[in-house]
Amino acid sequence: MIPMKILGIETTCDETAAAVVTLGDEERGRILSNEVLSQIAEHAAYGGVVPEIAARAHVEVLDRLIARALQRAGTTLPEIDGIAVAAGPGLIGGVLIGLVTAKTLALVARKPLLAVNHLEAHALTPRLTDGLAFPYLLLLASGGHTQLVAVKGVGDYVRLGTTIDDAIGEAFDKVAKLLGLGYPGGPEVERQAQNGNPERFALPRPMLGRRQADFSLSGLKTALRIEAERLEPLASQDVADLCASFQAAVVDVVVDRVRVALRAFAGVAGHPTALVAAGGVAANGAIRRALAAQAGEVGLSFVAPPLPLCGDNGAMIAWAGLERLRLGLVDDLTVPARARWPF
Ligand code: KG4
Ligand code: ZN
C-alpha cells in the first residue's frame, strides 16, 4: 500500500496546531511535520482560557500554520490524501474555525474530510508513537476530561470510569490558581512539588477503595484550600509542600482507580496489551512513574506519548484521521462542530 499522507488540524482549546502524518514501519505513524502555536501568553493574564480570545487567535494564525506544516513535510495540498480535523469536543468558536477551514480545503482540493473526536485522537496516540495493538487500558486525563477506557479498536471504546466533578488537569489548574502559580497549572504544580514534602499535609484520597473506577477531585482541592487559608500568608516552602502533598494524593487516587479499571477490563475486553496514559496530564512525571511501576507489577508494559505529543497537537488528529480513512470512515461536508462529544 502507498503510505497515506494526512493533514491534521487542531483548534479545540488554546493550541493552534497543524501536522502531516503518514504510515511508517511496524504499524506506527511517521510525523512529517508537527506545528503547534500555543496561546498561553494570550490567556495567562486571565488565569485560564478565554474562549473569545482563543477563537480570534486561531483565525489569525491557522492558514499560515497549515502552509508551514505542508512545507516542512515537503508536500503540497494536492499530494495530501485526507484532511483530518478535530470537530470537537472543545470551545465551540475554535472548533468551528478548524472545521470550516478543513471543510474548505477538502472541498477545494477534493480530498476526503475526516472529522475526528479530539479525545479519540489522544486515545489513539500510542498507536502513532509505538504501533500499539488493541486492546489497551487508557487513562485519558486532560484539562477537561478524566476517563479510564478500554480501547478495543478504532471507534470501539468502553468507558470504565470517569470523574464525577473536576478533571485531573482542571484540579491541577485550580490548585495552581489558588496558590498564585501560573497558567497552565499542571507543569507549575509539578515543578513546585519537586522541592516539597509530600507528607506535610494529610490530604484526602477521594474514592479510594470504591468498586467503580470513577474519580472525584473537588474534595481534595477544597481540603488543600483550607490548609492554604490556614497558613496565609504562604511562604515559598508552604507552596512547595502543598503542591507535593496534592500531587501525592492525586497519584494515590490514580493508581487505585487504575487498579479497579484493570480488573473491570478483563470482563469487557480480555487481556490488555498495555497500560496507556494520554492527554496533557500524562506529561506529569510522578503520575508516569507511578503508572509504570503499577503496570510492571502486573506484567504489563506502560506506554505514554513523548511529552510534546501529550498535550494538544496536530499529529494526533492526523493520525486518528489516518486510522479512520484506512477503515473507510470518511465524513461529508455537513458534519457539525460539537462542543460536547462523548467518546
Ligand atoms: O490535553 P491537554 O493539552 O488539553 C486539553 O484537552 O485539556 O491538557 C491540558 C491539561 C491542563 O489542565 C494542564 O494543567 C494539564 O493538562 N497538564 C498537567 C501537566 N502538564 C499539563 N497536569 C499535571 N502535570 C503536568 N506536568
Ligand atoms: Zn487534549
In this structure, are 100 and 138 located in the same domain? no
pTM, rounded to two decimals: 0.95
Look up the CATH number of the domain holding residue 207.
3.30.420.40
What is the atom index within ligand 1 of the atom nearest the CA of 167? 12
Identify the segments of the chain with pLDDT beneath 50: none
Q: How many domains are there within the chain? A: 2
In this structure, are 71 and 117 located in the same domain? yes
Query: Would you state the pLDDT for residue 265?
Result: 98
In this structure, are 93 and 153 located in the same domain? no
In this structure, are 148 and 265 located in the same domain? yes
Determine the distance separating the centroid of ligand 2 and the alpha carbon of 280, expressed in angstroms.
6
pLDDT tens-digit readout, 172-218:
999 999 999 988 899 999 999 999 999 999 999 999 999 999 999 99
The backbone torsions φ and ψ at residue 303, rounded to the nearest 5 degrees and listed phi first, read: -125, 130
186 known member of a binding site: yes
In this structure, are 192 and 315 located in the same domain? no
Query: Would you state the pLDDT for residue 116?
Result: 98
Whether residue 288 lies inside any domain: the answer is no
Q: Are 292 and 302 in contact (CB under 8 A)?
A: yes
Query: Would you state the pLDDT for residue 291?
Result: 98
In this structure, are 138 and 121 located in the same domain? no
Helix (H) or strand (E) holding 153: strand 146-153
CA distance 31 to 20: 6
Which structural domain, as residue segments, surrounds residue 173?
134-272
Is the minimum distance from the CB of 206 to ligand 1 under 6 angstroms?
A: no
Q: Are 125 and 278 in contact (CB under 8 A)?
A: yes
Query: Would you state the pLDDT for residue 2?
Result: 66
Query: Would you state the pLDDT for residue 52?
Result: 87
**Which ligand approaches the C-alpha of residue 317 most closely?**
2
In this structure, are 63 and 154 located in the same domain? no
Tell me the three cell numbers of residue 54.
Answer: 482563543
In this structure, are 115 and 139 located in the same domain? no
CA distance 343 to 338: 12
Whether residue 224 lies inside any domain: the answer is yes
In this structure, are 43 and 155 located in the same domain? no
Q: Of all protein residues, whose CA lies closest to atom 2 belonging to ligand 1? A: 280
